[in-house]
């Protein structure tokens, strides 16, 4: 089921996915969400969120997270990711099941 991109749960799961994406990336610069394309939600022994977002490289290095990090305006640095996040709130557990970026 598609849900509103501004859904509180979806936003929280997207924030979690972006943090995980940056931790797993070998890039020296942080990536941030430029635009949320779609959000789907499925109830499966918890809640699975499938979030498609356009991402952009910021001008901030990963070790300088205390500053504001605008996304680069260079269209070459934009890419799209599909994140699958599984949440079991009663157990306070969140997992990034997959990330597929182009």
- pLDDT tens digit string along 51-91? 999 999 988 888 766 677 888 777 777 999 999 999 999 99
Gap between the Cα atoms of 100 and 45, Å rounded? 23
Strand segments, DSSP code E, in 1-102 are: 29-43, 47-61, 78-88, 93-101
Give the span between the Cα atoms of 48 and 28, in whole angstroms.
Answer: 30
Task: State the Cα–Cα distance between residues 25 and 46, nearest whole angstrom.
Answer: 27
Is the full-model pTM beyond 0.85?
A: yes
The CATH classification number of 8-101 equals 3.10.450.10
């Amino acid at each position: 089921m598609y849900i509103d991109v501004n859904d509180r749960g979806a936003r929280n799961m997207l924030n979690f996915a972006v943090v995980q994406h940056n931790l797993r990336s070998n890039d020296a610069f942080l990536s941030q969400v430029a635009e949320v394309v779609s959000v789907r939600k499925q109830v499966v022994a918890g809640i699975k969120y499938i979030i498609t977002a356009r991402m952009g490289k910021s001008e901030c290095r990963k070790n300088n997270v205390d500053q504001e990090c605008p996304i680069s305006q260079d269209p070459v640095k934009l890419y799209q990711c599909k994140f699958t996040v599984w949440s079991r709130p009663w157990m306070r557990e969140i997992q990034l099941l997959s990330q597929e970026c182009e």
